[in-house]
Amino acid sequence: MAQETPPAPAPPKPIKVPSIKEKKLPNGLTVAVVEKRNVPLVAVYFLIGDGASKEDLKKAGLANLTASLLTRGTKTRSASKIAEDIEFLGGELNSGADWNESYITLNVTSDKLAAAMNVMADVLLNPTFAQKEIEILKAQIQDNLSYNLRQPGFLASYAASVYAYGEHPVLGTPESLESISRQDIVSFYKKAFAPGKAVLIFVGDISLQKAENLARRFFGAWKNSIAEETVAKEQNSNRTNGLEILVIDLPNSGQAAVTYTKEIADVRRDDRKRYFEASVMNSVLGGGYSARLNQEIRIKRGLSYGAGSSFAWRRAKANFIARAQTKNESAAEVAELILGEIRKLSEQEVSGEEIKPRKAALIGTFSRNTETNFQLANVLAELYALGVSTDEINSYVQEIEAVSSQQVKEFTSKFLGDGKLIIVGDYEKMKDDLLKRFSSVKIKVLRASELNLEKLQTE
């Protein structure tokens, strides 16, 4: 039977988020509210402005340790008591940190919100950072890290954080975690957690007035510390011209991870034109099952279960990655295919038939990611963390639709060349093909067992 041509995407539906209302308390805490009265639920996202960007490689993991320990004991509640109190209210309370910020999140029904906020306030304002809890959490992270450092995909991203982006792993390294003391945690908490750099976001069955009252009640007396003002760091790698290849030799690895990385230091997240060009470009290249990388590497050639690409955004730069996992023997071929697809996108404009469904996919994903209270709170938190106006949510469809094929080509040509290729796998099984396909490129080879990020940082 002849294959039917799939129908063209329907015109995108506008995404309309209720107005985002704000109020700033005298201590500098920003309260942001989106009213959605359809269900009696409220999502709360407490965004604190400092994350892993405020630590260095020697203390990598400090922000995440500090934020994660908030829910593991206060002056009046043990870790188990915190969990019991939230469970009794039918809620969910979590804390952690990523590169751009630290956070506490809460999901609860609106009638239990005040009681749950009482627990959240206790967690934020009165942590004890008990040595026992520090040791338990460190051990858990170390165990996970020990396992993950034997996985090619994780190891590639781990090395890329330093080698490609001039940053460090948010969860830390075995060495950095070992070096972090309770005093380091207390000092980070005092500097990072302050109302002047925090945003308290409510989405759901709540008004601005009620949200403000709750914020004043629980956080109105919270004061900025003397050391609160810190200058945000945007670390940059030592960028060079021309392709670089780093192979991390993982003998007897079942598969190889192939990643192409590029730090784009010239693109700010609040530059809407560049951000939306990057978004459409990525959707075409590797932003889904039907994108070019997956089509070429998985569907046409069967070399991987999946290939894709993405951006990690910072305030003043972006980190790009394209990746796939494959057999060790086909690692060099996959690397060549990834580079080839990027080159094609930089040389030829995308056809209207191709770009239209990729834009539709972006819009559909964004629409789904703003459906629930918690999803919308997450989107808002990212915008606040990156210094982006929240009105971007309601202009998203128009901004995506406005990106042209010419802009996609120009963005790729200007920003995605001369990156760093990181391949993790059994080098002996890929060596000959890699040297043949990349004969003009210097290839640096490191044993996985000898990988040292501090040394990698200085090379």
Nearest to 189 by CA among 336, 24, 55: 55
Query: Among residues 157, 185, 219, which one ends one of the domains?
Result: 219
Average pLDDT, stretch 157-170? 97
Q: Is the pLDDT of residue 238 over 50?
A: no
List all residues 6 or more positions away from 187 whose beta carbon is below 8 Å from its beta carbon: none
Average pLDDT, stretch 324-348? 98
DSSP-derived 3-state class of residue 28: coil
- Into how many domains does the chain fold? 2
Query: Among residues 180, 203, 219, which one ends one of the domains?
Result: 219
Q: Is the pLDDT of residue 230 over 50?
A: no
Q: Is the pLDDT of residue 45 over 80?
A: yes
On whether residue 7 sits in a domain, the answer given is no
Q: What is the pLDDT of residues 16-31, one digit of tens each?
A: 778 999 999 999 999 9
**Whole-number pLDDT of residue 12:** 66
End-to-end CA distance of the chain: give it in Å, rounded.
Answer: 58
CA–CA gap between residue 69 and residue 96 (Å, rounded)? 8
Say yes or no: 190 and 254 in one domain. no
Answer whether 346's CB lies under 8 Å from 416's CB. yes
Confidence of residue 164 (pLDDT cuts 50, 70, 90): very high
Q: What is the pLDDT of residues 304-317, one digit of tens each?
A: 999 999 999 999 99
**Whole-number pLDDT of residue 240:** 54
Q: Is the pLDDT of residue 244 over 90?
A: yes
Range of the domain at 273: 244-458
On whether residue 1 sits in a domain, the answer given is no
**Whole-number pLDDT of residue 363:** 95
Confidence of residue 242 (pLDDT cuts 50, 70, 90): confident
**Whole-number pLDDT of residue 459:** 72
Say yes or no: 114 and 196 in one domain. yes
Q: What is the pLDDT of residues 395-424, one digit of tens each?
A: 999 999 999 999 999 999 999 999 999 999
**What is the percentage of the chain residues whose pLDDT exceeds 90?**
89
On whether residue 433 sits in a domain, the answer given is yes
Average pLDDT, stretch 233-239? 51
CA–CA gap between residue 313 and residue 319 (Å, rounded)? 6
Q: Is the pLDDT of residue 8 over 70?
A: no
Q: What is the pLDDT of residues 93-124, one digit of tens each?
A: 999 999 999 999 999 999 999 999 999 999 99
Say yes or no: 192 and 330 in one domain. no
